[in-house]
Amino acid sequence: MVSSVISTGQSSHGKSSHKKGQESSGKSSGKDEKKKGKPDGTSDSYTTVCMTIFVFRGAPDAYYKRHVLIYFTSPDSPEFHETVHVQRENDASPWMVDRVHGQKDWDLTATYLSHVNAGAVLVHSGQEMVPVDIVAATPVEGREQDSGWNCQNFVLEGLQRIMYYGFQTQEWYDSVEEELTSQLLEGAIA
């Protein structure tokens, strides 16, 4: 299934972040539906899958208590909306991967702070769930033993997996990690 993934090759040049009160259109640059010629003269259809990382206030609002999730959409498939994140009941509970299907207005929630546009990848049409499944498969078992591991690590490890499977580059990952870190630290209590 991984061989069906085509990287957009986007780096930080296409990434931006937004804070509460700013608009994010979610629109693409007009390169949404891709047709690539194959040696036999036929063509394949590709779909753009966009990734947005949302950042929410913590309690207390220290950077390491801020919650993050990753939201997948596609301008080529308006009904495609998938969210992946981890949660747990308390500090001793195991982490659980939570997948939310359907459109969500995460930026309208009371604790929303900002978001980072984490770029896009191309997949063969009909394979939109591949990057979602890769992030959701990020291991969480036994992570409750690591007091420093949290939802932020989950999302970053998921992005590393996106890179590992050929969706994106190290430059892309470094840029998204830097922007997410900046958003997590901005305005947080010490």
CA–CA–CA angle 90, 92, 98 (5° rounding)? 55
Q: What's the pLDDT tens digit per position in 43-66?
A: 579 999 999 999 999 989 999 999
Q: Where are the alpha helices (DSSP H) in the chain?
A: 129-136, 151-164, 170-185
Delimit the domains of the chain by residue range.
2-185
Give the closest residue to 123 by CA, choosing from 62, 80, 63. 80
Q: What is the pLDDT of residue 190?
A: 72
User: From the CB of residue 103, how many other CB atoms can be counted at a distance below 10 Å?
Assistant: 14
CA–CA–CA angle 80, 169, 186 (5° rounding)? 75
Cβ atoms 19, 182 nearer than 8 A: no
Confidence grade of residue 106 (pLDDT, cut at 50, 70, 90): very high
- Sequence-distant (6+) residues with CB within 8 A of 78 are none
Place of tokens 């007009």: 30
What SS3 state is found at 29?
Answer: coil
Least confident of 34-48, 60-74, 87-101: 34-48
pTM, rounded to two decimals? 0.80
User: From the CB of residue 150, how many other CB atoms can be counted at a distance below 10 Å?
Assistant: 19
Confidence grade of residue 6 (pLDDT, cut at 50, 70, 90): very low
**Average pLDDT estimate for 123-151:** 93
Amino acid letter, 68: V
* Residue 23 pLDDT > 70: no
Cβ atoms 32, 48 nearer than 8 A: yes
Q: What's the pLDDT tens digit per position in 149-167?
A: 999 999 999 999 999 999 9
Tokens standing for residue 36: 């690539």
Centroid of chain to Cα 55: 11
> What's the rounded Cα separation, in Å, for the pair 33 and 31?
6
